[in-house]
Amino acid sequence: GENVEQHPSTLSVQEGDSAVIKCTYSDSASNYFPWYKQELGKRPQLIIDIRSNVGEKKDQRIAVTLNKTAKHFSLHITETQPEDSAVYFCAGPWDMRFGAGTRLTVKP
Amino acid sequence: EAGVTQSPTHLIKTRGQQVTLRCSPISGHTSVYWYQQALGLGLQFLLWYDEGEERNRGNFPPRFSGRQFPNYSSELNVNALELEDSALYLCASSGEVEQYFGPGTRLTVT
């Protein structure tokens, strides 16, 4: 299956700052790159995804960028708010193996 | 539209026992995935079913098994429970590639 590495494992930012989480993958045939958010005690929820035919996708304060040459994709959160505090997971395609997760803390 | 449902919500079992967890996908979704999430840790891929067939399985022993029914619902069976099987078991369904998760079943093995 796809190997997906996610960094950093923890990230602490001040409210209003930006946060960036990065995932690298190994399968050159990968064509779908999702990000999930899991708040404490809740189920993971898809927050944004990108397909390999585009390099960037934005949805309000969140964006995902894809670098197919380097085989990595990143989640960008701008103007962070305390409610952005959660664990974020990237996933590989096909069997959807997940990265290890990044615990984001946004300090007010 | 109803989301992914799982049953039971919570379960307490004794080491050595067997357990069956159930998942109903979103209507129209043919793929079901099972994940194990130990407390505070990541999502470990268990099994992927599509159109009634097992498509892939993660690095778990054979005592973890499952099946998918003609209506695309799925069961996860765990035999000979061990203490380290205590975790949240999440089911997800997809129609194409986007996954939608159920609320999970919290299994405690004592």
Mean pLDDT, range A26-31, rounded to an integer: 79
- Examine the pLDDT at A1 and tell me if it is beyond 60: no
Q: What span, in angstroms and rounded, lies between the C-alpha atoms of A95 and A4?
A: 12
User: Do B45 and A96 lie within an 8 Å CB cutoff?
Assistant: yes
Q: Does B48 touch chain A (CB under 8 A)?
A: yes
- Considering only alpha carbons, which residue of chain A is nearest residue B32? A95
Q: What span, in angstroms and rounded, lies between the C-alpha atoms of B40 and B49?
A: 26
- Examine the pLDDT at A58 and tell me if it is beyond 70: yes
Mean pLDDT, range B4-18, rounded to an integer: 98
Identity of residue B8: P
Nearest CA-CA partner of B91 in B46, B55, B51, B60:
B46
**Residues 6 or more apart in contact with residue A86 via CB below 8 angstroms:** A37, A38, A39, A40, A103, A104
Best of B10, B31, B37, B43 to substitute, by most chain A Cβ atoms within 10 angstroms, is B43
**3-state secondary structure (DSSP) of residue B62:** coil
**Residues 6 or more apart in contact with residue A3 via CB below 8 angstroms:** A25, A26, A27, A92, A97
Mean pLDDT, range B3-16, rounded to an integer: 97
**d(CA B108, nearest CA chain A) in Å:** 16
Q: How far is CA B67 from CA A36, A59, B59, in A?
A: 26, 37, 17
**d(CA A49, nearest CA chain B) in Å:** 8
- CB contacts, 8 Å: B35 with chain A: 98
pLDDT on residue A3: 75
pLDDT on residue A2: 62
What percent of chain A stands above pLDDT 90? 71
Mean pLDDT, range B57-65, rounded to an integer: 95
- CB contacts, 8 Å: A98 with chain B: 35, 42-43, 45
- In this prediction, residue A31 has a pLDDT band, given cuts at 50, 70 and 90, of confident
- CB contacts, 8 Å: B97 with chain A: 32, 34, 49, 93
- CB contacts, 8 Å: A94 with chain B: 56
User: Do A98 and B42 lie within an 8 Å CB cutoff?
Assistant: yes
- In this prediction, residue A95 has a pLDDT band, given cuts at 50, 70 and 90, of low
- CB contacts, 8 Å: A49 with chain B: 97-98
